Amino acid sequence: MSFQDAIKKSIMEGFTSNDIPVSQIVAILAITFAIGVYIYFVYRFINKTSLYNRSFHVSMAMISVITAGIILAMQSSIVISLGMVGALSIVRFRTAIKDTMDLLFLFWSIGEGIICGAGLFELAIVVALMVTVGIFALEFVPVYKKPYVLVVNSNNPSAEDEIVKSVSEFSKGYKIKSRNIKKTGLDMIIEVNTSKEKELLQSLNGIESVENTSLLTHEGEMRV
């Protein structure tokens, strides 16, 4: 027997046809669906976006079931395995993921489907619990305070020093993001970290040359 024949024989023996009982298939998919629903509720609780995207939530929960079905199919035959690899390699998903947390939950759902499809239910449950604990532990521990974006409009092009003085007095830290100096005035955008919002705005409005002030929330995180 040549080396190539030995390799072919070992591959074929590793992918012998295996008829999985219907009861086992139903049990695997049911457990996978339960874990997918669990991921669905964890995501709903942890999600902070103002708009609720129901289609994304449902698809995320069902991805694990679909993945488990694919793994079960790939266990039955080498032909199906190669066909799955070829089919999935030409599929391109062009939906943009706006939040990295969404990517985490999608990968979690796919991973749970793979683990359940392989029949490792204990591992799937342990992974689900560990990921949940990790998400809540890291999500609710305040590491950095979210800053504000301060927009100041002044009719005096030379009012920057007075504005910065007020900002530094009522904030723990600040960073000038943009300044627009015109002949008739000055526009500034400042990222500030403060817990004295009202005092800061009152101080800025007390400056004679300041016409408008706006304090907006920021989605980023500022080191202090």
pLDDT of residue 155: 84
Exposed / middle / buried, residue 95 (Cβ in 10 Å: 0-12, 13-18, 19+): exposed
In terms of C-beta density within 10 A (0-12 exposed, 13-18 middle, 19 or more buried), how is residue 164 classed?
middle
* pLDDT classification of 38: cutoffs 50, 70, 90: very high
Is 50 exceeded by the pLDDT of residue 224?
no
Q: Stretch 35-42: mean pLDDT, rounded? A: 90
Residue length, the chain?
Answer: 224
pLDDT at 151 over 50: yes
Mean pLDDT of the chain, nearest integer: 76
pLDDT given at position 11: 52
Lowest-confidence region among 58-62, 97-101, 164-168: 97-101
Better-scored residue on pLDDT, 173 or 89: 173
Task: Give the range among 33-42, 77-86, 102-111 with minimum mean pLDDT.
Answer: 77-86
How is domain 148-217 classified at the CATH fold level? Answer: Alpha-Beta Plaits (3.30.70)
Mean local confidence (pLDDT), 90-110: 73
Q: Decide if pLDDT at 16 tops 80.
A: no
Give 122 or 87, the one with higher predicted confidence: 122
Contact between 160 and 188 under an 8 Å Cβ cutoff? The reply is yes
Q: What is the pLDDT of residue 223?
A: 44
Is pLDDT of 8 > 50?
Answer: yes
Report pTM: 0.59
pLDDT, greater one: 1 or 199: 199
Q: Which residue has the higher pLDDT, 56 or 41?
A: 41
Show the DSSP H helices in the chain as ranges: 3-14, 22-46, 54-74, 78-89, 100-117, 121-139, 160-169, 197-205
For 161-210, the pLDDT digits (tens) are 888 888 888 888 888 888 888 888 888 888 888 777 788 888 888 888 88
- Domain map (residue ranges) of the chain: 3-139, 148-217
